Amino acid sequence: MKVRWAEIEYQPNLKEPAEPIRLGIVIERARGRRVEVILVGREPTGPIPELQLEGATGPFRDIVTNWFEVVWRSIATTAKEGVAESVVEMLNTAWTANLYLTKSQSADIPATTNLLTVARRRYEHYVGEKVPPFKGERVRPNSIPRWVNYTSQAVGVSR
């Protein structure tokens, strides 16, 4: 099964580009007519000099400091209206200024793979921060135990 994702970045200064700030990822998987989309990211909780927001006000500041909610609204609107193309590609064309998506990538994963786990791992790899498993993830141990435990139950009718 194919998944598609793109990283979300913020470029604080378009006139004199600096190192972009990695904010998160959006990942999607289509299953027939159903499309699953997961957005994973981080927002500043206070002043961060790298964002270069000193003196910024209004919608620009809000888009940067509340980017997660703004991008999620774009995803929700697209989902309600129906997806003609990939949600990731739609976001890629909609967000092209200081807040933008990198070129989308895709990979095949087994159909049984939990998309939340794939999203968390992609985010950790991209942003470089570990996050605890998300609610709804089926976390599997990394090591293989030396013993396998079995249980059986027999049900019968007494005479």
Measured at the CA of 63, the angle between CA 124 and CA 30, to 5 degrees, comes to: 50
Digit-by-digit pLDDT tens for the chain (159 residues) are 899 999 999 887 778 888 888 889 999 998 777 888 889 988 777 666 676 666 665 566 666 777 888 888 888 888 777 766 788 888 888 888 888 899 999 999 988 888 899 999 999 999 998 888 888 777 665 555 555 555 544 454 534
Query: Which H or E element spans position 64?
Result: helix 58-65
- Domain range spanning residue 77? 2-127
Total tally of structural domains belonging to the chain:
1
- Does residue 35 belong to any structural domain of this protein? yes
Q: What is the pTM of this model?
A: 0.78
- Does residue 153 belong to any structural domain of this protein? no
- Does residue 158 belong to any structural domain of this protein? no
- Does residue 137 belong to any structural domain of this protein? no
